[in-house]
Amino acid sequence: MIDLARMSMCFSVFILAALTFSPAQQASLQSPQTATIVGTVLDITGAAVPNAHVVLQGADERSTFVTADDGFFKFDGVEPGVPVRVEVSASKLKDWASGEIVLQPGQSFIVTDIALGVATVASSVTAATMEEVAAEQLKVQEQQRVLGVVPNFFVTYERDPAPLTSKMKFHLAMKTLADPVTITGFGINAAIYQAAGYPGYEQGAAGYGKRLGATFAGGYSKILIGDALLPSLLHQDPRYFYQGTGTTKSRLLHALSTPFFTKGDEGRREINYSNILGDLVSGALANAYYPSNDRGAGLVVRSAAIGVGGRMMYGIVQEFVLHKWTTHPSSQH
């Protein structure tokens, strides 16, 4: 009877111990239950955001989740009692981050306030300097040739051309003077002088050589001084500004005024001191190499008069004729 009672008591103790120390309860005693974080990534319109990168960032852990089309995400196994943050990023939308979240064992936490706004697009605009604009316009201008042959570099077809620097003015002058067509023109001009017997050099090869030298000296001095040196010193533009619009009368007056008026580098219309003084200086220099019977004040006056008349004719031809025959103009009118 006693043995039966003892056996019954032992069996009861065994059952109680089994119930008290089940495997699940033993595991629970060994480590606390983990937590869960879930949520849905939305934009400011309330639409789900697919392919959003959701990061669970803790002190010692980092987990990443990429949302599907429904924008849903879920992190299991979150350690309780440890501060974590949820960080969200998506293409073309602003980043989002939660505050610190500290969960209890077994807690399921729903992040409800994710609304990604449209990201501000950072854009930068690089503004070209006036010198850079002038350089680009000059590249096109240097391609301008009448009938594809004769250089026509000293005219601009731009509505509002950028001013040339001093370096550009000298570059334009030297490009014109070094062009084979210009050099050929000097040779033809010397031949015309030879036929006319002017200046008063002798005839023959020696006389032609002197006339050719005088032609080169006059051409170089007019262009280098009147179209490069003085425009640089006086801050004036040596180019012809094609008008192309308006009445025939207004265009004709514009062309005829070329020897007397031009634009300053700042864009204002002003007296063309560069061309006027350039013609006078070129005529004065001619007194140094012309024959003695052709020298004097008359040579200076003639040089200036020829310069003025030539520029007036040049303006008329530029305004009404050469634009149609010039290849690669910088703009069409």
The angle at the Cα of 300, spanning 299 to 304, to the nearest 5 degrees, equals 115
Altogether, the residues listed in the chain come to a count of 333
pLDDT band at 122 (very low <50, low <70, confident <90, very high): low
Contact 70, 45 (CB under 8 A): no
> Which of 10-19, 270-279, 291-300 is most confident?
270-279
Measure Cα distances from 131 to 128, 170, 186, 273, 330 in Å: 8, 15, 33, 24, 17
Average pLDDT in the chain: 87
The whole-number pLDDT of residue 101 equals 92
With a cut of 70, say whether residue 210 has pLDDT above it. Answer: yes
Those residues with Cβ within 8 angstroms of residue 219's Cβ, 6 or more apart along the chain or in another chain: 177, 182, 186, 189
Contact 220, 186 (CB under 8 A): no
Q: What is the pTM of this model?
A: 0.62
Q: pLDDT tens digits, residue range 241-262?
A: 999 999 999 999 999 999 999 9
- CATH tag, 32-116: 2.60.40.10
Task: Identify the residue with better confidence: 24 or 96.
Answer: 96
Contact 118, 92 (CB under 8 A): yes
pLDDT band at 233 (very low <50, low <70, confident <90, very high): very high
Mean pLDDT on 135-141: 93
With a cut of 50, say whether residue 24 has pLDDT above it. Answer: no
Those residues with Cβ within 8 angstroms of residue 151's Cβ, 6 or more apart along the chain or in another chain: 144, 145, 175, 176, 179, 181, 182
With a cut of 50, say whether residue 15 has pLDDT above it. Answer: no
Give the lowest-confidence range in 101-105, 265-269, 327-331: 327-331
How many helices and strands, by DSSP H and E, does the chain display? 11, 16
Helix/strand/coil for 78: strand
Domain layout of the chain by residue ranges: 32-116, 130-327
